[in-house]
Structure 1
């Protein structure tokens, strides 16, 4: 009982301290984005004025997830999700900057760095508000990360890494980088496993050369580019995984994907608030836009997204803590990342449609949000690829269980069992294991929505608004019906490479 009382006291202290950081962040964002500058103008310019990050980092937001023994609050995924959500209501670029630092750098460092290196890194995050990022992707190896060619040789004291990395968010900005590389085993052969190294660009022989800054489409405030890696890193800065480097990467990426709802949450709420406010004030033929049935449908869809992503946030806060190994939760992590980012893009498109012509400007939140949210469907795994992987994993499980009826599988699968009765009329059919890739994508989208319905039902049991829960369930079911229609339709159309023969329309007039 005494231990429980201590835990309760510590939890209350964490809540109070974190509340101070969260409120401080919101206050700083109001100041830098609305009083000292205009976010609508900042959002269309490359880079970020130094005073913005200086003011925002002055509240030391990353201290929330740093362990208490290293000077932080001792928070975890829930706090990081809340910070990303607060940031994304104002700026998707700022929220992504938070996500890169917390999910892709700090959390793996906290979990797997050697004590000496961990202490040094976290001390600088606390005292100097440093930033860190992750470099995995290479010019010839995007989603095929395990084929990366960045290599290293090592002695007892140093590891020498050489290679090229690109599309790392915060290129040229971050003080620290997590670099991935494969060990050079000689004869131009690389080890199958990969390793992670903390690169401190402020130290001799650890500088990373930016060969090119990219003119990225959207998220203008975050720099991306191509980086030349030729660094010598002390052995103490090599991460030590519990099992293997691949397992560490999967754990890292899955935790990051489970954190995507943090970026989606505030963003979708902003799209919803903007849509409601615009449609209340805009009158057409003597009636407010909000009184039109089609507008009601569109905004209720946004509320469905808001509810579903809220359910994701609650679920991730419960499951994605650093104490848990997430390397094997690919189905759920892929579903959460893919559908939450699809919802982000759809929400921005809805706002743009409702606002009309004036939204078709980069310095309007509708236009800027449409461009900024689009890459979320691509990075950390293209959504088409992730949906396919969901289907492949489910089919593998069905084969193992010798199950061919999709409904029976959904009823027994831990991620969908409670939602099965709500969709039993849709899924009572036998699934052919030999599914074409284009159908795997459709099936993955369908399964992601069943998983989402499960999360929404769990949220309902916690007391969330019943009206919003009901609306989300209706929209998720409707989307499943539409996707099932596409899945069941026969479509084997192929590319006609010499399509230009007999296709000049002018000849037929």
Structure 2
């Protein structure tokens, strides 16, 4: 029986059992997570279960690029190992899906065959040392040559540095006068071919995600003409489509991770006896674990929404609002869930070999890469306020109740959201407002999931917890805070002089 003929429930069960055997019987995941990289034999065993087949179209031997299955694989992996899930996320959202959608037909079959038969992996190169989130000003260039394109530049912080067999590389076309074009071009590179090899100049000592190598990459390579990705309109819109689809898959990575934090917290608090009862009987413990449970509910709803709207058949270039909301909110929830587990676990949790302590470090960069959450929240608020201005609407609640993504959810927060504004906000206010809007949009997903039959007690608890958070965020938004940094702070500021 081929992988395409196996039901997904059976496929995912087999994969979960494979991970359980490899991480808990054959090896110790807690020890593996403290080492740089993953042993090649271990990765080969993991990939032999063909988890990446979920992102390969059926005509090329895969399971069909169904978002539900992609998110399911990410969740199964992140329950055991967040770095492993991110490895899959890089391969799926930043390589295989772009190849399926934008690569020329003449190169797809060879790439997909190597992924299915030879356990190959691929990644995406956008970020440069001097141009992080400012991708439009990247300096990596491409020039057309006789047999293809010459690509020259420097990239860094690419996940799977030195490990990927293929790369998708972003660059700008270089004119004869040396100037770089405004649009972005993307090219495939096969690292097994000498002319296409990426030179790793340095491997970084990343603070978390030890399994994944990151580093500094030097590019001076030549790729064939048919290795250029073909955008539907412009390269910039292709980049937005790729990045927005990737952000909409963050809930898959968050799903298994948050569920693991929740399961660990419940198990610990049920078994930890304090006085005459266990920890779970304490009111504050109930509150803290309810926070993780609310995160579990929100993440579940995001997965359902993403499964509906983020397939490669959709162009997501203009779907920045939902993409930003999913990525920023779910990664905040991942970090908070790991922090809560460590707090509940006491000294036991404050060990890097503990899933909670390790989870703090492994989930933290998720709030930074693919757009820092502060930047994304500011963009969310900016998008909404622009729509309000276009409609000549100044009252936030009145706008939200007429906006499809928030129409039902905002009714739960009418008191908090009933205010008008006409002036421009400072950046810090935009970020506060973006945090609020991201959570209102998320509750919209939760209420939609309720209509599909998701258990109501989790839904109700989630809405209460989010309401409390929005109340606190609105207090911050409404506070008069224009504090500026005091640059010359050392003068007259030593406490010893005043004692």
Question: 2:422 aligned to 432, 456, 474, which one?
Answer: 432
1:273 and 2:300 equivalent? no
Distance 1:21 1:179 in 2: 32
Distance 2:37 2:385 in 1: 45
1:419 shift after superposition: 1.3
Normalised TM-score (structure 1): 0.96
Distance 1:433 1:161 in 2: 46
1:258 aligned partner: 248
2:99 aligned partner: 109
Distance 1:174 1:406 in 2: 47
Deviation track 1:147-182 (CA, whole Å, cap 9, x = no partner) reads 000001003521000000000000000000000000
User: Structure 1 residue runs of 4+, over 2 Å off?
Assistant: 13-21
Distance 2:376 2:399 in 1: 20
Q: 1:286 to 1:404 in 2, by over 3 A?
A: same
Aligned with 1:483: secondary structure? helix
Distance 1:63 1:22 in 2: 12
Deviation track 1:334-355 (CA, whole Å, cap 9, x = no partner) reads 0100000000000000000000
1:125 shift after superposition: 1.1
1:305 and 2:295 equivalent? yes
1:455 shift after superposition: 0.4
Aligned with 1:498: secondary structure? coil
Q: 1:108 to 1:433 in 2, by over 3 A?
A: farther
Distance 1:421 1:20 in 2: 41
Q: Do the aligned partners of 1:114 and 1:239 also contact (CA within 8 Å) in 2?
A: yes
Deviation track 1:175-228 (CA, whole Å, cap 9, x = no partner) reads 000000000013231000011101001012001100000000010010000000
Deviation track 1:338-385 (CA, whole Å, cap 9, x = no partner) reads 000000000000000000112111111111111111000000000000
1:15 shift after superposition: 8.2
1:285 shift after superposition: 2.0
2:209 aligned partner: 219
2:81 aligned partner: 91
Distance 2:215 2:410 in 1: 45
Aligned residues: 497
Q: Do the aligned partners of 1:17 and 1:73 also contact (CA within 8 Å) in 2?
A: no
Distance 2:450 2:472 in 1: 25
Q: Do the aligned partners of 1:21 and 1:59 also contact (CA within 8 Å) in 2?
A: no
Map 1:117-128; keep pairs closer than 5 Å.
117-128=107-118
Question: 2:143 aligned to 143, 146, 153, which one?
Answer: 153
1:14 shift after superposition: 6.0
1:68 shift after superposition: 1.3
2:8 aligned partner: 18
1:489 and 2:479 equivalent? yes
1:450 aligned partner: 440
2:318 aligned partner: 328
1:9 aligned partner: none
Q: Do the aligned partners of 2:4 and 2:62 also contact (CA within 8 Å) in 1?
A: no
Q: Do the aligned partners of 2:128 and 2:155 also contact (CA within 8 Å) in 1?
A: yes
Map 1:20-419; keep pairs closer than 5 Å.
20-155=10-145, 157-419=147-409
1:4 aligned partner: none
1:146 shift after superposition: 0.6
1:431 shift after superposition: 2.2
1:129 shift after superposition: 1.7
1:498 and 2:457 equivalent? no
Q: 1:75 to 1:188 in 2, by over 3 A?
A: closer
1:62 shift after superposition: 1.2
Q: Do the aligned partners of 1:411 and 1:418 also contact (CA within 8 Å) in 2?
A: yes
Distance 1:188 1:162 in 2: 13
Distance 2:135 2:316 in 1: 18
Unaligned runs of 5+ in 1: 1-12
Distance 2:323 2:54 in 1: 23
Deviates more, 1:19-28 or 1:473-482: 19-28
Unaligned runs of 5+ in 2: none
1:323 shift after superposition: 0.5
Normalised TM-score (structure 2): 0.98
